[in-house]
Each structure stands twice: as structure tokens, then as C-alpha cells.
Amino acid sequence: MKSEVLKGTAIFEPDIHQAPPKSWRNLLIGHPLPTADAPNQTIGKLVGLAVFASDALSSTAYATQEIMVILAAAGSGALGNVFPISLAIVALIIIVSISYEQTIHAYPGGGGAYIVARDNLGELPAQTAGAALLTDYILTVAVSISSGIAQIASAFPGLYPYRVEIAVGMVFLVMLINLRGVKESGITFAIPTYFFVVSMFITVGWGILRFITGNLGTVTNPPAETFPVTIGVITPFLLLHAFSSGTSAMTGIEAISNGITAFKEPRSKNAGITLIWMAGILSTLFLGISFLSGQIRAVPSEAETIISQLTRTIFNGQGPIYLAVIGGTTVILIMAANTAFADFPRLSALQAYDGFLPKQLTFRGSRLVYSWGIVSLAIIASIMIIVFQASVTRLIPLYAIGVFMSFTLSQTGMARRWWKSGHLQPGEQVVEPGSIVTHDHRWKLKMVINGFGAICTLVVMIVFAITKFKDGAWVIVILIPTLVFGFSTIHRHYTRLARKLSLEHYASPAHISRNRVIVLVAGVHRGSLAALTFARTISADVTAVHVSVNPQESQKVRDKWSMFGEGVRLVVLDSPYRLLIEPMMDYIQMLISRRTPNEIITIVVPLFVPSHWWENLLHNQTALLLRFALLFKPGIVIVEVPYQV
């Protein structure tokens, strides 16, 4: 046992080595890990790509289709604009990736847009970024898993009516895997991620080779249910609308900057390299799929995805290779939810540490992951899937506004950071909550890069909000301010609580001159007598109180109390309307009104504890209801005395 004395107070630390108990949870999520094992749960670049890049990489499976869905409104001739629009989106991917690569090195502690905005733009922009990112992660789970189930339904149409149930099941499967820990979930998902990347490169590469040799052909038996022509002409608004839909390919780029702490040392270097890998793979596959989709004359449809049409055209049917590619695509789309499950709990924990979300979100579970955040994400995303019936097209309009809002705030914050850096003298530094700002001789170049990126993403966000407003983007426009208001309300609560609990200018409480103890007696039995025995150990001023709703039963209480009450006075409250709580509360209120200074009132409540949980259903919960009613009475102490039966 360790012991020490601080200012006359002895402090002991008993040597108690507790082994975690075995339970059914161990079978599902693994054995508990000690806190000291946290450094061993970090991941390298290869696993990091599977954990944090699966969201961005998976978007290649549906981004091209979302562009085509919009262009189809002007007829099949408009689909020729898919590749030029994809080129513009890839240019934006490069700009944003360069910006976030700078963020990774400037903020090695992670946090992404939230931390950058907090340190450089202030509380309101930080909470706006937090709300935008949390919303994006929820929608990432809903969209990616819905898209993965759509791939399955393309190969096996009979499963289409059950897509919602399957999608919700997949959400909870990914949740379960993530509860096992970042390292273990990353290793679990690494093989499918690289299988998808390799299979898609083979598909795109073989498709381009067939195009060069002139025998690629066009899609056979295209889906009959295609989107109708509604405008017939190509307009600038249509192109902007298609561009905004295609920017769904950019979701997930910020994920690595939020999860830097999950990487092995040197964290920033490993995270930065992983980001570059991700951007390169994403851009290559996205351009390849968009180019080939135009060459085979694929058509957008809810019945069969573009990836399915492309794969069966390139490989001449639905053979083993087709099934392997569709299987890999399905898995990566479902795994894309893993990125959100890796980042949502980390970001919510950061905001909870700052007092803007419930403190429970900072709790690390038995596997050293933020379990509350993981479970919360699964529940909310499942609700989204059910509400929108697992439709990717209906979910996409809600998707990218939050992403680009966080992009804009992050890059604006970084531009301001470089401006502050440029106005410091060499060797001078400013310590901020998220990082240390020092002089950087390349601050002007970096500020221009981040500033240009902020302008680009701001323009895209505005375009997206306008073009997708009627399709459902209005929900996000309302939701994000609502979340920010909720964050502020939570923060005010924690601030007020901290002020009330603060020991600053604290004077010792006045001495308690009297402790009036009230024992609630429903009947005279072993449980009530155990409560009476306890009450007499804490005060000599004890009163038993019984509420009479049945005169015959009350008489039995009087008779037994005269025998077993040990001389303690009994107060019987008549209740002609058979109420239990109200007469007791009136009596206690009378005592409060007559209370002398420095007097407290202790309510002792006997509590039956049945052997089985279901046996609680066989008893009324009067004691529990009374406890809740008394909690809001100042100067009242409530003590429950359990009696096991």
C-alpha cells in the first residue's frame, strides 16, 4: 500500500489488483484493455488507409452515378459532360488535400476543422464546424451502407424489398467491430479495403485497355427504369447541380486530420503520407470510372448501379470476376461507415471535453474506444436509414453541405493561423489550446494555399445549398444552427454547474445543529425495521411516517409498530383519496417550512431488492417515485436502505 501525507492529510493507495470480470460482452468485443496499453493501440499507414480513407475511396462507387442522375434530366446527350465535371472535382480534391496536409502538420494532436476553427476563429465557428462534421459522419454511415446494400440489390434483385432491414443490420455489425478497438477494427477492414482498391484498378485498367483496342462496347440490357427527361437542354444551373452532386466524392478527405492521434509516431508524417495516398487513389479511380461510364453509355438507375453496369460490360457478363468486384464494392461501401465510426467518437469527445456535448462521450470503454460515441452514431444513422428508406439519391442532398462547411472553416482558420505565424518574430511562439504557433518563413505561400482552398469550398457549398435546397438540403441549413444552439445550451449548463461547485472563495459550511430523520413506513416488516435501525444510527431525532389509504391495514401498522417500533414516534397521514406521494410531500413541505437554521431533513426509504430483475415488475415503485419527487427539494437528504429478498 502506498501512502503519503499532504498538508496534514493522509492519503492511501491500497494495492488492489482487480481482474475485469468475465461477461458476455467479452465474447462480442474482446477482453478489456488496461489504460497503459493505449500507446500499443495505434496504427500504421497501411492500416490507417483502411480505417480513415475507406469513406473517401468508397465514394468512387456512387459519385459518378450522382452526376449522371442530374445530367439525365437533359437527356442522354448531356451525359457527355460527366468526365469534364469529374475533372473539375478532382482539381478541387487536390486543392483540399494540399490544405489538409498542412493542417495535419500544424495540428498533430488531431481535431481537424473543429480544433482549427476553435483556435483561430472563435467559439461559434468551432461549434459550427463541429455540428457540420458530426452531421456529415452520421450521413456517411447512412449513405455508404445504403449504397453498399444497393450494390447487393443490383446483383440480387430479390433482396431489394429488404434493403432497409439489411442496412440497419450492417450498421450494428460495423458498430460491434468498432467497439473492439481501433487497431483491431482497422486490421479487420484492411484486407477488404485493399481488395476493393486492387479490384477497381483491375476493372478500370482492363476497361481502358479494351477502349484503346476498340472492343469495349456499350452496356447490354441497360436497366429499364431510368430517370425521365424533364428539361431537355443543358443549362449552367444543371451543370452546377451535377457538379455539386459529384462533390460527394470529396467526403471523408478531412477524416485523417481528425484522427491523427490514432497513428504511430511520427504521427503527423504517417498521417500526411496516408492522406496523399488516399487523394491519389481517389482521383485516379474517380476519373477512370467517370470516363468509362461515358464510353459504355451507362444510364443512372435505382435498379442497377453504374458500377454494376460498368463491371459486367468490361468483363462480359456477371461471372465470377463481376461478383468479386461487386462484392468488394459492397464491402468497401459498408466499411466506409468505419471512417465515421473512427472519427465521430473522437470529435464528439473533443467537444465534450470542452463542455459542448455530454461528458459521457469522453468515456473510454473497455477496449479504449469512445463507446458512447460509437453506439450513439449507430442509433442515429439507423434512424436516418429507416426514414429515407436506404435511398442513396434521397440521402445525398443532405450529405455534402456539412462537409464543405467544415472544409471552408478549416481552411479559413488555417489561413488566419499562417497570418499569425507571419507576424511573429523568429524564435517567438504562442501557445494555443490545440498547438503551438511559431514563425514560418513560408507563411505567405501557405496562407494563399489555404485561402484559395477556402474560397473554392465556400463557392461549392453555396452552389450545393442552392441547387439541392428543394431536394432536402434545407434540412441541413436548419439542422446545423439548431445543433449549435444545443451545444451552447449544454455549455451554459456545465459552466453554471462548475461555478456552483467551485471551491474558489469557498467558506466551510455551517455546522449542522439538527438532523431530523423521517423513515417511510408502508408496512411493518423486516425491511422497514432495517431502515429504522439504520436511521437510529445517524440521529436520535427519528420519526416514522405512514400514509393511510386503507383503515384496516393502517390499524395493523399501528398494532405492529407498538410492538416493534422501539419507542420511535409514528405519524399516520390520512389519505381519503388513496394518494401516496402527495400526502407525504405535503408533510415534508410542512417540516421544511418549520425548519430551523442549520437543520437538515434526512428521508430514509426502505427499498426491496428482488433476486431477479423481472421481479421488480411485481412490486409498485412508490419509493422510486418519491425519491424523484424529493430530489428537487433543497435541504433534503435521501437515503435508500436496500433489503434483499
How confident is residue 20, by pLDDT bands cut at 50, 70 and 90? low
590 and 450 assigned to the same domain = no
The residue among 130 and 110 whose pLDDT is bigger is: 130
Q: Which of 243, 236, 294 is nearest to 83 (CA)?
A: 294
The CATH number of whichever domain residue 320 belongs to comes to 1.20.1740.10
Q: Which helix (H) or strand (E) holds 430?
A: strand 429-431
pLDDT at position 24, please? 58
Spatial separation of the C-alpha atoms in residues 56 and 197, rounded to whole Å: 12
The CATH number of whichever domain residue 587 belongs to comes to 3.40.50
541 and 404 assigned to the same domain = no
Classify residue 86: in a domain, yes or no: yes
**DSSP class of 319:** S
Res 111 pLDDT > 80: no
pLDDT at position 188, please? 73
Q: Of 492, 522, 543, which one is at a domain's C-terminal end?
A: 492
Q: Which domain holds residue 88?
A: 44-492
How far are the Cα atoms of 354, 492, 495, 504 from residue 499, in angstroms, in the given order?
15, 10, 6, 9
58 and 165 assigned to the same domain = yes
Q: Of 492, 525, 555, which one is at a domain's C-terminal end?
A: 492
Classify residue 168: in a domain, yes or no: yes
The predicted-structure confidence for 315-373, as pLDDT tens digits, reads as follows 988 888 888 888 888 788 777 787 788 889 988 998 999 999 999 898 887 666 888 99
586 and 453 assigned to the same domain = no
555 and 600 assigned to the same domain = yes
Classify residue 100: in a domain, yes or no: yes
Determine which of 110-119, 437-446, 508-517 has the lowest per-residue pLDDT on average. Answer: 508-517
How confident is residue 29, by pLDDT bands cut at 50, 70 and 90? low
Classify residue 540: in a domain, yes or no: yes
Classify residue 506: in a domain, yes or no: no
How confident is residue 476, by pLDDT bands cut at 50, 70 and 90? confident
412 and 470 assigned to the same domain = yes
Q: Cell digits for 339? A: 471512417
Classify residue 303: in a domain, yes or no: yes
480 and 540 assigned to the same domain = no
In one-letter notation, the amino acid at residue 259 is G
pLDDT at position 199, please? 92
Counting beta carbons within 10 angstroms of the beta carbon of residue 534, is it exposed (0 to 12), middle (13 to 18) or buried (19 or more)?
middle
Classify residue 9: in a domain, yes or no: no
pTM for the model: 0.77
Classify residue 244: in a domain, yes or no: yes
Cβ(418)–Cβ(440) under 8 Å? Answer: yes
Res 6 pLDDT > 60: no
Q: Which of 364, 374, 367, 363 is nearest to 20 (CA)?
A: 367
Res 490 pLDDT > 70: yes
Q: Please state the separation of Cα 387 from the chain's center in Å.
A: 18
The residue among 185 and 152 whose pLDDT is bigger is: 152
The predicted-structure confidence for 134-147, as pLDDT tens digits, reads as follows 998 898 888 878 87
526 and 588 assigned to the same domain = yes
Q: Please tell me whether the peptide bond between 266 and the residue prior to it is cis, using omega within 30 degrees of 0.
A: yes
Three-class DSSP category at 523: coil
How many folded domains does the chain comprise? 2
The predicted-structure confidence for 588-630, as pLDDT tens digits, reads as follows 888 888 888 888 899 998 887 777 777 666 656 666 777 777 7
Instruction: Find the mean pLDDT for residues 205-227.
Output: 82
119 and 257 assigned to the same domain = yes
Spatial separation of the C-alpha atoms in residues 403 and 135, rounded to whole Å: 9
Mention every residue, 6+ apart, whose C-beta is less than 8 A from residue 588: 518, 601, 603, 630, 633, 636
pLDDT at position 35, please? 58
573 and 625 assigned to the same domain = yes
In one-letter notation, the amino acid at residue 559 is D
248 and 392 assigned to the same domain = yes
Spatial separation of the C-alpha atoms in residues 142 and 65, rounded to whole Å: 17
352 and 447 assigned to the same domain = yes
